[in-house]
Amino acid sequence: MSGVLKVVRATGLLRAVSHAPGTQVGGIRNLHVTAASRAGMGTPVPAHEVPTAELPEESELTWDCGDAYPEPALDVVPPHIVKPAEAAAYLFGGLGVFYSIYSLAKVVDKPSTQPFADKQFPFDNLKTELGK
């Protein structure tokens, strides 16, 4: 850090910064926050007008990003593309496929029914010792 300060002092940058507009706090001159944090580009979101009148009743259903063509916030699919019965068939068909994969995995997966490993004991698996 001291090396950076030496370079700044040598180039005379401190002299230029000391005359920059800013506020005086505790005897130390500060630069504007926007110049330091955002490279002088201003706020990330432009300032907006404070509402003076009531909003329309369904204003939340329109996405207005400030351009000339506000669009609906919810997608409206025309009925000729997918009918409600056809959409329900797609939904339940997809859920059925997932349930069948789950059921198959549950039947085939032996470790889920026996969560421990089989133990192999010496002397013919301890038949005499265990009384088998």
Secondary structure (DSSP) of 25-72? ETTEEE--HHHHHSTT---SS---PPP-SPPPTTGGGEE--SSS--EE
* Domain presence at residue 28: yes
Residues 6 or more apart whose CB falls under 8 angstroms from that of 34 comprise 40, 41, 42, 43
- Location of structure tokens 């002299």: 15
The pLDDT value given to residue 88? 95
* Domain presence at residue 85: yes
* Domain presence at residue 61: no
Domain range spanning residue 99?
Answer: 77-115
Mean pLDDT, 10 residues at a time, the chain of 132 residues: 57 51 50 54 73 83 81 79 90 98 88 76 78 74
* Domain presence at residue 123: no
* Domain presence at residue 57: no
The pLDDT value given to residue 108? 87
Please measure the distance between the N-terminal and C-terminal CA atoms of the chain and give it in whole angstroms: 79
* Domain presence at residue 95: yes
3-state secondary structure of 24: strand
The pTM for the full model equals 0.36
The pLDDT value given to residue 34? 46
The pLDDT value given to residue 36? 53
* Domain presence at residue 71: no
Q: How many domains does the chain have?
A: 2
